[in-house]
Each structure stands twice: as structure tokens, then as C-alpha cells.
Structure 1
Amino acid sequence: MNNLMVIDGIEVRRDVHGRYCLNDLHRAAGGEQKYRPKYWLDNKQTRELIEQLFTEGGIPSSEQNQSVSFFQGGRDTQNLGIAPVNTVRGGAEQGTYVCKELVFAYAMWISPSFHLKVIRTFDRITSAPQT
């Protein structure tokens, strides 16, 4: 399976935990100011979805015995998995990285056409035969 995700010629970076860069998705969607990831992350419905992901244990860790600790909403969520959202400030990998579920939610927030484009891209890269 090819894990490279490209939407409208924009490569969507991934971090070491497999989360996708919202900033790259924003550029792929046209880069309009009103669709900046910050505005989506400040949305009440988005915050509730992120909280639900934390409640369910974050993203399952790819390494079975890996102990990951992060702090969210005033509580320690040690050993629950990988945080669904991580913001990297500065450096070459700067950006906000999110899990697949949040990629779909962000795309849906932007527009129905972008949402379908993201779903179809995910479908293509996850169903492609390994080379």
C-alpha cells in the first residue's frame, strides 16, 4: 500500500504516528483564510469530537507495549494511545497533525466536494495493491 496522500497536487505530510497535516489539507482545499485549521479546531463540535477520541483512548499505538503520555483537558491520559491531535511549532515539520477521523471531519467542514475528494483519495491509497 502506498501511504503517500496527494490531493490536487498537494502532498499531505504525515508524522511518525501516522497523523495527517491539516495545514497541507488546507492548502489542498484552496487555502482560503476562512478554512484555516485554527478556526476548525476552535469549533465546539470539533472540540467535542476530539474529546470523544480522547475518551475512547486516542489512536491505537502501532507498538503494542509503547507507553505514551499526553495532557489534555486537565487530565493525564497516559497509556491510552497516541493523541488524535498534535501541533508542531517551528522546524521543517511545523503544522497541526490529526488522525484519520479528524481528517474526514475537517474535509466535511470545508465542503461536500472536498469531503468526497478526501474520502476517495483515502479509498484509493488504502485499496491500492502493494508494490
Structure 2
Amino acid sequence: MAEPCRFNLNDLHKAAGGEQKDKPVHWQMNAGTVGLIEELKVGNPTFEPMTTLRGRYGGTFVVKELVYAYAMWISPAFHLKVIRAYDAMVTQSQPQVPRRADRTGSPLPPYPASLP
């Protein structure tokens, strides 16, 4: 299984205003956060949805679902900003491929069943 993309909560903390009360360490100790992390591990107990690295380039790195949970913990307004920023990033980074109108959604035209 491929390693999921990770996001730095310390960067989000700074973007949210950097208040002491909103530090990722306080969020990590929240019972709801602990439960969410355990839920993310269901079916894959070796998976770590959150890792912390120390040092100059360290921080608390999490999967996308935990980014949303952290932003929601800070405030509803910040939660909405994070959702919109992520949506814009994902939408802009993927080229739009024309799709067929049928249910397959394949960008390719149908392959002829028999050649003439």
C-alpha cells in the first residue's frame, strides 16, 4: 500500500494564528483525536496516521483526515478555510480530461467490437 500524503500541523497552527491554546500537542491529547486515530488504524494496525519528527525540519505530520479534524478543533471558520484551500489545490493540480457521456467515464472512445 502506498504511503499517504502527509501535512504538517505546525504549519497549519501558524496559519491559524499560532495561539498557544491551538498547538497540535493539545489537540493530540483530546479523546476525540485519539479515537479518530484508532479508527483510521482499523484493518491496518501498523498504519500510523500521525508521526512527529524532532529537529529543525520536524513537526507533527498527519494524513488528510486529521488535517480536517485539527482545523475543526481550532474553529469553524478555520475549518472552512482549510477545506476550501485543499479543494482548490486538488482541483487545480489535476488536468481536466474530457469524459464520455456513458457510465464508464473513460476518456477514450469505445473500442470497436469487430473490425471491418
Equivalent residue runs for 1:52-131 within 5 Å: 52-57=39-44, 77-78=45-46, 82-91=47-56, 93-130=57-94
Rg (Cα) greater in structure: 2
2:23 is aligned, of 30, 36, 42, to 36
Counterpart among 38, 46, 49 of residue 51 in structure 1: 38
Matched, 1:27 2:17: no
Unaligned runs of 5+ in 1: 1-15, 58-76
Cα distance in 1 between the residues matched to 2:36 and 2:43: 11
Q: When the two structures are superposed, what TM-score results if normalisation uses the length of structure 2? A: 0.74
More helix, by proportion: 2
Which digits, 9 at most, give the CA deviation of each residue in 1:58-82, with x for residues without a partner? xxxxxxxxxxxxxxxxxxx34xxx4
Within 1, Cα distance between the matches of 2:94 and 2:11? 25
| Structure 2 unmatched ranges of 5 or more | 96-116
Partner Cα distance (1:107, 1:94) in 2: 20
Structure holding more strand per residue: 1
What SS does the corresponding residue of 1:87 show, helix, strand or coil? strand
